[in-house]
Amino acid sequence: MEPAHRRPDRRRLLTGAAALAASAALTPLTAAGAAPRPQARRGSAYPPHRWVPASPANFTAAKRPAKYPVDMVVIHVTQETFKNTLKLFKNPRHKAAAHYVVRSADGALAQCVREHDVAWHAGNWDYNTRSIGIEHEGWIDDPTWFTDELYAQSARLTAAICGRYGIPVDREHIVGHVEVPGTDHTDPGEFWDWARYLQLVQEVSWESAG
């Protein structure tokens, strides 16, 4: 069961969301088909994830990194449930999607946009072309959503992405949505533990290199 977190319905960081019912259950991913499993160049293994495709109206088909170099990871917080976030990304009227979404309760990962495509997640075209976007289930003013499982699985994912593209594991290349120029978003917010997160990413990267 989903933890009984407060869900302030006054905010919807994921723009275009309608008033969605507050579901109390975390349901398994039901979309058919396996997620693309790119191989990390330096041994970092991608954690298990399911392919839950976003609408083609919410990203730009591309051939990265041949067309656009990938040199950044952007960290987001959904301001929505995991389940409703996936619904929004499937909605062609939403006009936004991230590459990955991480579930709070158990760290389950959904991939919604292939890494070689440009997801519309950062609100800045240059950053979109250069980055992989990772959404994390939760609300920025409620740190109880940022569970050990969420941090651990997200860190494994980010370490694998950094290994694949040769991205340095530091705060210049792993950034929050709030740091994207021109954005009006504030995620991942003051309760996101950057020191802990970077340490986890570094530890996974070192283990993979060893």
Positions marked catalytic? 135
Pairwise CA distance, residues 53 & 31, whole Å: 8
What the block records as the tokens of 73 is 């990871």
The number of helix segments (H) and strand segments (E) in the chain equals: 4, 8
Which SS3 state, helix, strand or coil, does residue 66 take? coil
What is the token pair recorded at 193?
A: 């533990």
For helices 148-165 and 194-209, what crossing angle results, to 10°? 50
Cis peptide before 65 (omega within 30 of 0): yes
Sequence-ordered list of residues with C-beta below 8 angstroms from that of 164, at least 6 positions apart, any chain = 38, 39, 40, 41, 42, 44, 115
Which of 115, 117, 155, 132 shows the shortest CA–CA distance to 72? 132
Length in residues, the chain: 210
Report how far apart, in Å, the C-alpha atoms of 7 and of each of 1, 10, 123, 183 are.
Answer: 15, 9, 24, 23
Looking at residue 206, the DSSP 8-state letter turns out to be H
